[in-house]
Structure 1
Amino acid sequence: MKVLTVYAHPRRASFCHAVLEEFTAGLREAGHESRVIDLHAIRFNPVFGRFDYASYVDEHIPEKSLEQLDLRRTILEEAGGPLRRAVAARLVRGKSPQQLARWIRARRPRDVVAQQRQVAWAEGLAFVAPIHFCHLPAILKGWMDRVFTHGFAFRLTEEGWSGDLAGRVPLLRHRRALIMTSTLFGEQTYDGPVRDAMTRLIADWGLRVPGIKDVEHVFFHGATSAPPDVIARYLEQARELGRTFERESAEQ
């Protein structure tokens, strides 16, 4: 299986990096093709900016919704000064909403397009990161915000554009996703409502809703202060998760 691992920790001498090394070693032992995106190493920008608007526009948006978006006005407002606005006005003159949508879509941020190509290559996804305030680190959450966009991770029918969740159509077709996170506190801290909330936000909304049915979230509790024998067990578990990545998917 082609497995893409997205890694989100700034330090190579971290527990998370050790998990990454063991997990990817396990993948290779099992014969999988492995790629890693180190978000800090590539200095990925997690901030959803005004140019990311292009990632949410395409020609397949229902006509009524395209008209409500008023793409011509958006293009003119984003053009800049008077001269740029004049040039933009000439470019959009006589264009249909669908043509304008294609024009905007073609201007998606290059870093996002590059990440989407990596995701599209993969048959399985994995994530390695620490838990920050009961969620993923900002750089990984921002990666999801900017990469799992309309027309790539999901699309909306006319009902979806009107606010009905039933109108959200999943587009991701990965066979499996695995989230591996370290925590500062022990397991008892995250039992019950806290863990349920993290599952709902990260596994469900982040991965299952866009179409990945087989999602597992593994926690390495208290990794910051765990004794050496516990760390050793965690790292062996990470390697085994790599070795059994496809087998576990088939069994669930």
Structure 2
Amino acid sequence: MLLAVAPAVGAAVGASPAGDRTRDDTITRTFTASLTPETPGQVEIRMAFDLPPDVSQVTTRLPDGTTVRGTTGFEQTTDGYRSTTDSPSIRYALPVNRTGTRGHEYADTGVWAIAPTPGAGFSYQYRGSAPTIETNYAIDGPGVVGETMLYLGEHTTYERTTGETRFRLVVPAASETLANPETILDTLGAGADNLELGDAAGSHVAIAAPTSVQWGPSGLARGSADFWVRADLPVNAANNV
């Protein structure tokens, strides 16, 4: 029996096993987020595992500040929560509101939320070859899943593909953009090679953040994939990025 430790956050959304691996030797972990209108400032997360036959158990430790709301197939231990079935899950409240020196970096109003993708470290015991790990993200209700950010709430999505770069512009129902969404996509497409998002190729989620909360920065990028920008910022021309 071997013990291994997995990182808190998956490397990619819905990453597929490499080579000739199959789901029979893959640990699948799915985070599902949902709004909690009765308790603004946090979202509910359901973290569910699907364990292959050669993985006997997983033990997970939740991030600081979380509140467990229920478990299925998990038992609490001194070092976290240990699985007792091959399909355990745990529900917990995750604080979203994060502030810097000038205001919010992420926010949840109960009606909508802009949040980083959740994560939780875990270890697992297995026999034979080491399993691969697949991490997925989903939203219970309206919303958009990115690789590094989530938007929860009513919205309209606009898409544009430029070369190898795909943008999804998320305009929340609570947002009023100064610029036409097509103009914003023109700007993103024209500036794809200059955006500070690492490799511009791939899929990016851009969120027009509602201005009903006091944001600290004018915008925020997380990792090399997703970012939000205040919805009230002007876009003067398609080549201004």
Q: Which protein has the larger Cα radius of gyration, Structure 1 or Structure 2?
A: 1
Higher strand share: 2
Higher helix share: 1
* TM-score, length of structure 1 as denominator length: 0.25
* TM-score, length of structure 2 as denominator length: 0.26
